[in-house]
Structures are given as C-alpha cells and as structure tokens.
Structure 1
Amino acid sequence: MEPKKAFKRLPDEKKQDFIDKAIDLFLSVPYEDITMRMLNKALSINSATFYRYFDSKDALYLYIYHTIAEKLPKSEGYNLWEAPLSNMITYAPYISMREKNFLSLIYKIPDHVLQMLLDLYRDEEFDKFKEYLTLDKRKGKLREDIDIDFLIWLLFTIRNQLYIYVRQQGYSVDEIFRLLNFVFRDLLRNGIYKHDS
C-alpha cells in the first residue's frame, strides 16, 4: 500500500515521527476501536491532512506493515512448511521490539484488513512457492502427480483459513505458532493417517 504523494514529499524525520505515533496507537488500542478522531489526535493532524496522506486507516496500517517487513532480510531459501512470522525471534537485529510487536498484530486485525495484507503479498509469495516447489519436484521430493499451481492454491487457502480460525479462537501468539507449525510442518507434510511401521 503506497501512501499518497503528499506523504511521500514529507521530510524523512517527519514521516518517521508520523509512523512512530501511529504504531504506538495501533499497539495500545484494539484496531476496531481506533476511530479517525483518535488517529488524527495521536498523529497531531486534522482529517483533511490525514486523507492527503492515506486513503484510510487500513491503508496506513498496511503501509506501516510493509515498511517494517521491508527491513527484514530476504531468505536465500524458502521453507514452505514454516509458520508465517514464526522466525520473529531471529528478526531482532533488523527491527525493534516495537516493530516486532506491530507485526504480531497480524493475528488481531480485522479479517478484511488481513485479507488485504495477504493479497498485497500474494503474487510475490506465489512466485516464491512455485520456484521452490518446482525445485523440490525436480529433486524428487514431491510426488510426480502433484499439480504445483493447485498445491499452491490449496496451501494459500489453508493458511488464510488458519489465520481466521486462530483469531476466532483467541489463541495467544505462542499457541498460534504451535498450531501453524503443526499444520505446515507436520500435518501437511506427513498426512493425517498413521504410517505402517
């Protein structure tokens, strides 16, 4: 999500101050409870100025998320079975604890914002999944009859539904990581049936 030109023209220091204030608000108040009035007050701006910078609260949230995510190293490899954000502990050299906490809000934002966030990265993730699954298939790690495009669609669907499920259940972040790792590392990789010894 790109901010509008007026925001891009701000000096870097002013942009960072704006982002820092927004992060503080998102971390201290549940997303759904944040009104435009609260947002404008926290950012020390009026409504007209906010809308010169961003289309909506959602657009601001997505911009901040993307800005923080861009600080993280791009992995050389890709572990398809890794739970999303489960390597956050290794992000310490790249982002602050505040930024890590902000990224963790992905488990608490409304479904429509989560869907916007997932859509934002869909094409990039699809290409990455396809590259590594194709490589795994060439190496003989995947069954020959696997349709990679269908498998990716299936994995995206499962992941998106898992996000919704864990949020509805009110799981803690640790419980979410355990469940996502179970699904992606164990259940999907090994199946649901016992294997004969």
Structure 2
Amino acid sequence: MPKKMFENISEEKRKIFIEAAISEFTNKQFNEVSILSISKKAEISRGTFYNYFDSVDLLFEYIFTTVKKERAKKAKLLIKESNNNLFTFVKKLFIFDYDEFK
C-alpha cells in the first residue's frame, strides 16, 4: 500500500504517477515493469518512487484495489438505476467497463 508521503502529494501529481504506472502495466508484461520504467514515465526519480511505495508489487496491488472499489461503487449505483433488472444492469456495467478501461 502507499506510504504517507503519497497521500500528501497533490491530486494532480498523484494522478500523473498512477496514470504512468497504469500505462506501464497495460503496455508491458508484468515482469518487464520496473521502478525505473514507472519513474521515467512519471518523470520522477527512483527515490521519489520509494517515497510513495516500497515496490512495484505494492503499487500494482494499490491500483488493483482502487479500481475494484470504484467498480463496486459504480455497480451499486447501476443496479439501482436498473430497477434490479439483471439484463439492464449487466448491459450498463459492460458499457461502464468499456468506457472506463478501454
């Protein structure tokens, strides 16, 4: 999980860092993603990376957990919007997933 320093940086810097990490994770095989590659993409030093996370694995877990939580929140809203109709819900969730993760 993130270190306290990560929580204290601006939303803009956090977004740039996370987007750089997501780009690395989605465009490379997991074993090819490194602290150096993420740091270069985010235009930060390796030391700054270590101020935020102890490892690439912990960063990946943080991103995965965050995405999972956001998707669960959206799913709860969509099921209400769908009046508990399973087919409508699945369609809306599919559209959300496609738009969010393409």
User: Same fold per TM (> 0.5)?
Assistant: yes
Q: Are the counterparts in 2 of residues 72 and 91 from structure 1 also a CA contact under 8 Å?
A: no
Measured in 1, the distance between the counterparts of 2:67 and 2:31 equals 21
Pairs within 5 Å for 1:1-197: 2-73=1-72, 90-93=93-96, 96-98=100-102
1:27 CA displacement = 0.7
Partner AA of 1:92 in structure 2: I
Question: After TM superposition, what 4+ stretches of structure 1 lie above 3 angstroms from structure 2?
Answer: none
Which ranges of structure 1 fall in alignment gaps of 5 or more residues? 77-86, 99-197
- Count of matched residue pairs: 86
Percentage of identical aligned residues: 30
Tell me the secondary structure at the aligned position of residue 55 of structure 1: coil
CA RMSD of aligned residues (A): 2.3
Measured in 2, the distance between the counterparts of 1:25 and 1:38 equals 7
TM-score (norm 1): 0.39
1:91 CA displacement = 4.7
Instruction: Give the helix-richer structure, 1 or 2.
Output: 2
Measured in 2, the distance between the counterparts of 1:7 and 1:61 equals 14
Asked which structure has the greater RCO (Cα within 8 Å, sep 6+), the reply is: 2
Measured in 1, the distance between the counterparts of 2:58 and 2:21 equals 12
Partner AA of 1:54 in structure 2: F
Q: Which residue of 2 aligns with 1:180?
A: none
Q: Are the counterparts in 1 of residues 20 and 38 from structure 2 also a CA contact under 8 Å?
A: no
Measured in 2, the distance between the counterparts of 1:91 and 1:71 equals 14
